[in-house]
Structure 1
């Protein structure tokens, strides 16, 4: 039943008592699924120092194994294998020097047809080099097109080798930039072949064929939504299933199997050690939430553990603990404000509340309804905590960025609330201009950038913020469009008519919902290609900042919205399984 408030409204905007008989719209969100008792019961043995010591021993052993990687022992293929495996397993932070040496060695031979002469090697090399921000032109694939300008079948007596080649071609094509039509063609060609094989094969999980399992995983989770912890967990299990015979072309490798087993052992141990730290942080988050004032407000999404997943699954490294915890609190606050502005609050209440929020005006808090008082105090405490930590890390210059993105975000919410209240559908461009602000991506990225330990200056942060940052603008636009595509039905059910789909249909008379969806999908694809170029081309932007935009921004958004809104519907199996795999259950050695 909708909650009623009694009181008088103010027309001058200076105060806001509850509106009389205000009928509340609610999202009917399911409650928190992760009880404090359960979170506090988590108890990983991997926090013990003995596991940390053993990890260091393994790291040193593997470092010694690959220290001669560019000599007679290992060639280009082995170096590609090393970089690919340690990065996919999430242990690359332990081998930065070795990876740089291997990549430089690979790049030295990139234009040698004697080495990169077949499609499989070109696809492998292209993907590794582009992922690591070396200059790699997609023109290298032109030599594999037939006389009619189309990719043609690559016949081989070894069907498994062809299957692996097609998988590598498909994965390379996922890293396309704008106007790289050849990669679109490669993706279509490889996709058609791989999907045909999967369809013919039947139950892949039952077969336990590791290569087919990887193909199925690649289609289910495209590169743009392949979270680092998801990639590590999945590849550990594929590697184990293969008994460390990583490639069907393994006879080409000179890497002894004992090396592969050592790397797998390290990956499992490292995953479990990191999980123990994540469990400790989840306990802190759960205690904070249990003692917070906002827990008594039941109209909004209680998603503190899902918010932690948002930050910890891509930003998993130990040094980002403070960033993870504070950004989890920030995300929880944003869920509360999102549900107040989108559904629960009335426009008469929201106007003065917006003024109070954008100014952090404590003196006017008592003028608002009780639920808004709680929301403000909850939000303000988080703001003070983050601002204090940000100033400690970087200095007082960060305040103007925190305040600027916060004001823009809240005012965009207010605009949408007014559209909802008046049943107004704005034009498509007007909607998007406001929607990129209300997407929340700018406020999330700015706070995360400031909370990371990477040194920042006023000049650097200005370059990373809107309007200077094309990456930030693209990420905000992608977030808004993807969210609208996935949430269209839910938003209509709540009375929210102003989505990019409705606005497109209004501007394009006679267009259907399908026309609008097709247009948005094309627009999203174009934006993703542009963002790929921004984040994967060589540039002066610090690698940790680019990884933040890529992993915490694009990949989390696409993962959480891949099959519906997992932020809202976190009772779905996909998100519950992911949280359990990454943060609850250790991988058995």
Structure 2
């Protein structure tokens, strides 16, 4: 550490913003007053999962083969509804990757039946629609018209038992979350079923323990809509629900008629697979913690130290073992961007930021010679990460990827400078002007592009061009969602720090007489529209590799919505929901 600082010409006792140093003229700077890192290296290094042992991997393979034998050798025993149940369950349990052939056979058969219009009651129709659309089959929601009454209610022609109706309403609600633009029937279905399900939850709110597993699932689905249901946390939650289902045979036996022994075998696979993957993730987290402990930036105390939270964000969506390099690279880059964000937004002065920007764009260390020590540390920290990622990406794909790295980096840094100039001059831009710059300063283009090129997936120049600005609908939608969601949650904090350029302030300036509530309503409508567009983009047929589309959909959209669900979960990562989620996904194995 001392050698790194010495090579930069930085005194280890007087660096600006360093914990053991003093900053001259401190009143000239603003500070976000962020809470410190919550995860000590000692705690991270103490994580020691037994599930990394090869014996557990071997046992998982045995269990997977047993499930294959059950659902292949006895194919004729299962109805279409039971087959759809299987597809739904293995996807919710996060083990669908082991049963792709079986899933495809079931969905192909369902799609054929769908086109012949022989799908049955509301429950099967809703489940079939969701499974087909979620797996990119071309299906129309118009099929739900026959279940709609004159007063906008939805009803089932099937059995009249209350719990059967409840399952149908739950499946219809979940199907409605996969809506595309202009699909009003799904909006109507969501409005109706959400009201119905909320009333059911309210009726049972006095039940605190030993809840019916169906009620547990409804509460989870309502609390975490599809747009913020990150895969690893969804798997954790569904395993808990599935455990309860296996203890309440009547639910699955009466509706789906799946033997308990079959369900138990699926549960065993899911728990073991989750714990094995968690062991891999803990190993990576230890590497990241060691890297952070020995990094120069750890001594800068004015910015958010959130390496564990960043890793959690990405691992929740990109959890497969083969994407380790992408997860680790993302975490390092996001930590660097967090440092730069706090420098441009609060800590740096405009006179410092202009040459600093030039140095970052060119990666020219000679420019920073007269800049404060904290900027020298930030430059070197960011540059080392840039070199590491660029070298690995060029090894994987070839030198052509460098232009994508440089283009997105340059536009990102310039967008930061633009916002800093607005802050320095107390200027509130036009809404459209702000959005154009804000989608870039969201950082999602940089984060996504670097993550993509670190994945073990062949990516041609043509594919990367399709995924990058300005041609990428994925990228533009994810960037806009991130900017708008971030503005909603950070508006008050940023306003208190003197930052007037946000989508809310800009909207109110453009629309004289409008209130904050008006601005929020408009922005929320824009966000909802973006979600529908991203649903369509993700679920339509495409030549873009599935893992790349999943990265945008799960990490880029769902991850953002989860982290910003009730507050800015990165800035305020000490909130209980974020802490609990990290413990579930990264720290505690699931007990059988």
TM-score range, shorter chain: over 0.9
User: Following the alignment from structure 1 to structure 2, what is the Cα–Cα distance between the partners of residues 215 and 204?
Assistant: 14
Q: Residue 74 in 1 paired to residue 74 in 2?
A: no
- Native 8 Å contact 1:436 1:476 kept in 2: yes
Q: What residue is the counterpart of 1:14 in the other structure? A: none
- Native 8 Å contact 2:245 2:251 kept in 1: no
Q: What residue is the counterpart of 1:394 in the other structure? A: 397
User: Following the alignment from structure 1 to structure 2, what is the Cα–Cα distance between the partners of residues 160 and 350?
Assistant: 62
Report the Cα offset of residue 92 of structure 1: 1.1
User: Following the alignment from structure 1 to structure 2, what is the Cα–Cα distance between the partners of residues 5 and 546?
Assistant: 43
Q: Residue 529 in 1 paired to residue 529 in 2?
A: no
Q: Residue 59 in 1 paired to residue 61 in 2?
A: no
Go from structure 1 to structure 2 and tell me whether the alpha carbon gap of 1:478 and 1:177 turns closer, same or farther (over 3 Å shift): same
Q: What residue is the counterpart of 2:356 in the other structure? A: 353
Q: Residue 367 in 1 paired to residue 370 in 2?
A: yes
User: Following the alignment from structure 1 to structure 2, what is the Cα–Cα distance between the partners of residues 187 and 312?
Assistant: 30
Match of 2:451 among 443, 448, 452: 448
Q: Residue 84 in 1 paired to residue 88 in 2?
A: yes
Report the Cα offset of residue 157 of structure 1: 4.0
Go from structure 1 to structure 2 and tell me whether the alpha carbon gap of 1:341 and 1:559 turns closer, same or farther (over 3 Å shift): same
Report the Cα offset of residue 242 of structure 1: 1.4
Aligned length: 572
Go from structure 1 to structure 2 and tell me whether the alpha carbon gap of 1:495 and 1:5 turns closer, same or farther (over 3 Å shift): farther
Go from structure 1 to structure 2 and tell me whether the alpha carbon gap of 1:204 and 1:399 turns closer, same or farther (over 3 Å shift): farther
User: Following the alignment from structure 2 to structure 1, what is the Cα–Cα distance between the partners of residues 247 and 455?
Assistant: 36
- Native 8 Å contact 2:92 2:238 kept in 1: yes
Residues 42-94 of structure 1, C-alpha deviation per residue, up to 9 Å, x if partnerless? 1111111110110011111111222257x422221122111111111111111
Q: What residue is the counterpart of 2:576 in the other structure? A: 573
- Native 8 Å contact 1:5 1:21 kept in 2: no
SS at match of 1:480: helix
Q: What residue is the counterpart of 2:5 in the other structure? A: none
User: Following the alignment from structure 1 to structure 2, what is the Cα–Cα distance between the partners of residues 112 and 201?
Assistant: 40
- Native 8 Å contact 1:504 1:516 kept in 2: yes
User: Following the alignment from structure 2 to structure 1, what is the Cα–Cα distance between the partners of residues 442 and 234?
Assistant: 26
User: Following the alignment from structure 2 to structure 1, what is the Cα–Cα distance between the partners of residues 412 and 250?
Assistant: 48
Residues 523-562 of structure 1, C-alpha deviation per residue, up to 9 Å, x if partnerless? 1001110111000122222211110111110010000000
Match of 1:422 among 416, 422, 425: 425
Q: How does 1:104-503 map to 2 (within 5 A)?
A: 104-114=108-118, 116-147=119-150, 150-154=152-156, 157-243=160-246, 248=251, 250-253=253-256, 255-503=258-506
Report the Cα offset of residue 153 of structure 1: 4.9
Report the Cα offset of residue 260 of structure 1: 1.0
Go from structure 1 to structure 2 and tell me whether the alpha carbon gap of 1:245 and 1:74 turns closer, same or farther (over 3 Å shift): farther
User: Following the alignment from structure 2 to structure 1, what is the Cα–Cα distance between the partners of residues 256 and 194?
Assistant: 27
Higher mean alpha-carbon deviation, 89-98 vs 229-238, is at: 89-98
Match of 1:98 among 87, 90, 102: 102
Go from structure 1 to structure 2 and tell me whether the alpha carbon gap of 1:152 and 1:386 turns closer, same or farther (over 3 Å shift): closer
Report the Cα offset of residue 253 of structure 1: 3.5
Instruction: Give the TM-score normalised by the residue count of structure 2.
Output: 0.94
- Native 8 Å contact 1:32 1:302 kept in 2: yes
User: Following the alignment from structure 1 to structure 2, what is the Cα–Cα distance between the partners of residues 551 and 77?
Assistant: 27
User: Following the alignment from structure 2 to structure 1, what is the Cα–Cα distance between the partners of residues 38 and 350?
Assistant: 31
Report the Cα offset of residue 206 of structure 1: 2.1
Report the Cα offset of residue 147 of structure 1: 3.7
Report the Cα offset of residue 327 of structure 1: 0.8
Q: Residue 48 in 1 paired to residue 53 in 2?
A: yes
Go from structure 1 to structure 2 and tell me whether the alpha carbon gap of 1:111 and 1:245 turns closer, same or farther (over 3 Å shift): farther
Report the Cα offset of residue 152 of structure 1: 4.2
Go from structure 1 to structure 2 and tell me whether the alpha carbon gap of 1:363 and 1:336 turns closer, same or farther (over 3 Å shift): same
SS at match of 2:494: helix
SS at match of 2:114: coil
SS at match of 2:246: coil
User: Following the alignment from structure 2 to structure 1, what is the Cα–Cα distance between the partners of residues 65 and 417?
Assistant: 55
The unaligned stretches of length 5 or more in structure 2 are 1-13, 17-22
Q: Residue 588 in 1 paired to residue 581 in 2?
A: no
- Native 8 Å contact 2:51 2:276 kept in 1: yes
Match of 1:563 among 561, 566, 591: 566
User: Following the alignment from structure 2 to structure 1, what is the Cα–Cα distance between the partners of residues 73 and 415?
Assistant: 56
Instruction: Give the TM-score normalised by the residue count of structure 1.
Output: 0.94
Q: What residue is the counterpart of 1:15 in the other structure? A: none
Q: What residue is the counterpart of 2:11 in the other structure? A: none
Go from structure 1 to structure 2 and tell me whether the alpha carbon gap of 1:152 and 1:387 turns closer, same or farther (over 3 Å shift): closer
- Native 8 Å contact 2:181 2:529 kept in 1: yes
Go from structure 1 to structure 2 and tell me whether the alpha carbon gap of 1:320 and 1:428 turns closer, same or farther (over 3 Å shift): same
Q: What residue is the counterpart of 1:10 in the other structure? A: none
- Native 8 Å contact 2:411 2:440 kept in 1: yes
User: Following the alignment from structure 2 to structure 1, what is the Cα–Cα distance between the partners of residues 354 and 15?
Assistant: 17
Go from structure 1 to structure 2 and tell me whether the alpha carbon gap of 1:551 and 1:97 turns closer, same or farther (over 3 Å shift): same
Residues 148-193 of structure 1, C-alpha deviation per residue, up to 9 Å, x if partnerless? 5x23455964111111111111111011000001101000110111
Residues 309-350 of structure 1, C-alpha deviation per residue, up to 9 Å, x if partnerless? 011111111001111111110011011000000100011100
- Native 8 Å contact 2:136 2:540 kept in 1: yes
User: Following the alignment from structure 1 to structure 2, what is the Cα–Cα distance between the partners of residues 401 and 19?
Assistant: 39
Match of 1:28 among 14, 28, 33: 33
Higher mean alpha-carbon deviation, 86-95 vs 156-165, is at: 156-165
User: Following the alignment from structure 1 to structure 2, what is the Cα–Cα distance between the partners of residues 546 and 435?
Assistant: 23
SS at match of 1:300: coil
The unaligned stretches of length 5 or more in structure 1 are 7-17
